[in-house]
Structure 1
């Protein structure tokens, strides 16, 4: 079963928090797919990742780009995984589907949005009821702290 982590954003947006998590993913020799809630979010995240200065560079592409199978990071609003990623990042209250294809799943949610927090709790409860092992991470002043 996949290792599923819930990442409670308290001081930054997902666009600001993702580069560090994606950098660690690439450092581990893994590929990632980032599933956004809306197609407009795909374009926004794609642009944000091109402006990242730390880590120095995050090679990626988004839906519609050429050679999706060659991309270490693929950004989409669909359920496609053309790069055979084993790490899945969920944004915008996306539900995790076909979990068996991934070894790690990162569910990032905005802790300043009551609806996003409520939706994350529902996803947590549903996945827990299915027997998945879950971890909860809360964004702190200088990084993430594991809770529970």
Structure 2
């Protein structure tokens, strides 16, 4: 049974935080789906991941290609886990269900702490997921380092 980890971004960019979480996920042997709601925003993340230094290369691709099943990290807007992902990184307020949280190793929900709408959406997701019985943790980087602030 998995858990949902909420990451309240206040100091680092989405691309930077996502890259660190992807590194850790791949080190655990997990395949990852980065699920967003806006294709243009996902394409910007795709570019940011490609522009990382060569020694920190993260193999990934955009969903909809001929080799989706081969991608360790797949960015897309759909709910299908076509790369066999056991971890979802939800960005841009993308929805995840309590059933997905239960079935996967981990669900990470990353949201911009400077965006009131994103914070409200994350609060609603927390209530919906925990209300449905999903385990969840809330992490904040407000102090300059990641700290667990809440757990259900």
Q: Give the TM-score taking structure 2 as reference length.
A: 0.90
Contact 1:109–1:117 under 8 Å retained in 2? yes
Contact 1:7–1:137 under 8 Å retained in 2? yes
Instruction: Find the counterpart in structure 1 of residue 110 from structure 2.
Output: 108
Instruction: Find the counterpart in structure 2 of residue 28 from structure 1.
Output: 28
Contact 1:19–1:55 under 8 Å retained in 2? no
Give the one of 117, 127, 145 matched to 1:125.
127
Contact 1:7–1:106 under 8 Å retained in 2? yes
Within a 5 Å distance, the mapping from 1:67-106 to structure 2 comes to 67-97=67-97, 98-99=99-100, 100-106=102-108
Distance in 1 (alpha carbons) for counterparts of 2:41 and 2:134: 28
Stretches of structure 2 lacking an aligned partner (at least 5 in a row): none
- Tell me how far 1:2 sits from its aligned partner: 2.1
- Tell me how far 1:66 sits from its aligned partner: 2.6
- Tell me how far 1:80 sits from its aligned partner: 2.1
CA RMSD of aligned residues (A): 1.6
SS of structure 1 residue aligned to 2:7: strand
Contact 1:7–1:136 under 8 Å retained in 2? yes
Q: Which runs of 4+ in 1 moved over 3 A?
A: 140-143
Stretches of structure 1 lacking an aligned partner (at least 5 in a row): none
The count of aligned residue pairs is: 148
- Tell me how far 1:140 sits from its aligned partner: 4.4
- Tell me how far 1:96 sits from its aligned partner: 0.2
1:63-98 superposed Cα distances (whole Å, 9 cap, x missing partner): 232311111000001112111010100001111035
Contact 1:92–1:109 under 8 Å retained in 2? yes
Contact 1:33–1:75 under 8 Å retained in 2? yes
SS of structure 1 residue aligned to 2:78: coil
Distance in 2 (alpha carbons) for counterparts of 1:45 and 1:120: 20
- Tell me how far 1:56 sits from its aligned partner: 1.1
